[in-house]
Amino acid sequence: MAKVYNWQIGREMEYPYDGIRPKRQFAMVMDLNKCIACQTCTVACKTTWTPGRGQEYMFWNNVETKPYGYYPLGWDVKILDKLGVQEIDAAVYPGKTLFDAAPDGETVLGYLPDDLDYAHPNIGEDDSAGVMGQGAFLDVPHMNWMYYMPRICNHCTYPACLAACPRQSIYKRPEDGIVLIDQARCRGYRECVRGCPYKKTYFNALNRTSEKCIGCYPAVENGRQTQCTVTCIGKIRLQGFITTPDKAREDSPLDYLVHIAKIAKPLYPQFGLEPNVYYIPPVHVPIAFLKQMFGRGVAEAIAAYRKAADDKKLLGALLLFGASPEIIHHYRVEGDVTIGYDETKREIVRVPLKEPVYVRNTYDQRHQTYRTNVT
């Protein structure tokens, strides 16, 4: 085992391979306050990448309802239960990662899901955290909470799937950190399915090999964001590249959101994989639940998010979500407009910080009809 540094847990940890970071790291930020679980991302991914034989029950991108939705069934509560209660409040994580907790003869603490765990991809949809009493009516704030969580492969800095594969059939691309399974080397042992705590490697029972999200690498190689990002009608996603906190660039929207504004958090950082999909936590959910899922700093993240309207730099980054199909490498706010640039600093998009308001007359003289203004 080598010692590698994981900034999300603030310490070195054991990992089977040396900690060589890619030239740049694929990353995504998802704003959970904006997701409505329309599953457009799921369908976009499905039709692009997994319409084939043996992929019928496979969703590289899925959207589940938290707290009671899971795909596969119980994926997170099962591994949390196996890992046991850990202290997650300290800047330096004192608890065990899944690598620390690996039993004798295993590389990582994991489990193999049952086949039926994949049978209900949207189980728990719209279930809220508590029971709604007889006669309950909609009120604000809502009396119970739930939220939608879209999930893809986290293209972890320290992937457990890669660590668990005894054949080194899984590799992390040096050019962008995307994690791939070599379809010619894989022998379908399912060690990656067992090892990945996010259960984002899938077994294709007809091909008898494992498959996973490929980070839309053909798009990323051409400067375009992933299918799940560009098709998102709620504009909840921003995909690009992220650095480590010590190298954070203020003009990179992902760096700004994750390292500087610190409003986007990794999924279960205590597992020790340094996942690279970051979530803006939902503002209405109990902090204790969010802390378990996204680590320390969620209360501060929510406080900063609530004040985003007063913070032009933060607002500028948030408004780039869904603004362009191209990967935004740089951005800056100029007056009341945020501008996104590509890798060569060519301008690709301009978004006003405040949506312009147009008011129409109630009576349309030209067509001699009445109009209703809607927003």
Q: Which of 76, 176, 191, 274 binds other proteins (CB under 8 A)?
A: 191
Token pair in block for residue 307: 């004040």
Distance CA 152, CA 168 (A): 22
14 lies in the site for other proteins, by CB under 8 A = no
Torsional sign, CA 283, 38, 325, 47: positive
Closest C-alpha among 63, 60, 40, 39 to residue 50: 60
For residues 164 and 280, which CB has a smaller minimum distance to other proteins in the complex?
Answer: 164
348 lies in the site for other proteins, by CB under 8 A = no
For residues 206 and 309, which CB has a smaller minimum distance to other proteins in the complex?
Answer: 206
Site string for other proteins, 114-153 (x = CB under 8 A): xx--x-----------------------------------
57, 58, 63, 64: CA torsion to nearest 10: 50
Q: Which of 6, 61, 65, 204 binds other proteins (CB under 8 A)?
A: 204
188 lies in the site for other proteins, by CB under 8 A = yes
The identity of residue 58, as a single letter, is M
Residue 60 CB, nearest approach to other proteins (Å): 12
For residues 228 and 317, which CB has a smaller minimum distance to other proteins in the complex?
Answer: 228
**Scanning the structure block, which residue is given the tokens 């949809």?**
125
Asked if 28 contacts 238 with a C-beta cutoff of 8 angstroms, the reply is yes
> What is the distance between the terminal CA atoms of the chain, rounded to a whole angstrom?
57
For residues 26 and 99, which CB has a smaller minimum distance to other proteins in the complex?
Answer: 99
Torsional sign, CA 243, 247, 248, 253: negative
Token pair in block for residue 168: 């080194």
203 lies in the site for other proteins, by CB under 8 A = yes
53 lies in the site for other proteins, by CB under 8 A = yes
Q: For residue 241, report the phi and psi dihedrals to the nearest 5 degrees.
A: -125, 150
Closest C-alpha among 231, 251, 230, 247 to residue 239: 230
Neighbours of 375 (CB within 10 A): 4
Q: Which of 126, 183, 332, 347 binds other proteins (CB under 8 A)?
A: 183
Kindly indicate which of the ranges 92-100, 120-128, 182-190, 243-251 contains the residues binding other proteins, using the contact rule CB under 8 A.
Answer: 182-190
Distance CA 199, CA 221 (A): 26
For residues 118 and 147, which CB has a smaller minimum distance to other proteins in the complex?
Answer: 118
Q: Which of 211, 255, 274, 326 binds other proteins (CB under 8 A)?
A: 211
186 lies in the site for other proteins, by CB under 8 A = yes
Kindly indicate which of the ranges 125-133, 188-196, 244-252, 299-307 contains the residues binding other proteins, using the contact rule CB under 8 A.
Answer: 188-196
For residues 193 and 254, which CB has a smaller minimum distance to other proteins in the complex?
Answer: 193
Q: Which of 14, 100, 106, 125 binds other proteins (CB under 8 A)?
A: 106
For residues 128 and 207, which CB has a smaller minimum distance to other proteins in the complex?
Answer: 207
Helices and strands (H and E) in the chain: how many: 10, 17
Q: Which of 67, 69, 74, 113 binds other proteins (CB under 8 A)?
A: 113
Q: Scan residues 282-321 and list those touching other proteins (CB under 8 A).
A: none
Cβ neighbours of residue 71 closer than 8 Å, sequence gap 6 or more: 59, 62, 64, 118, 120, 121, 122, 123, 151, 199
324 lies in the site for other proteins, by CB under 8 A = no
- Could you list the residues that contact other proteins (CB under 8 A)? 51-57, 104-107, 112-115, 118, 164, 166-168, 183-184, 186-191, 193, 202-209, 211
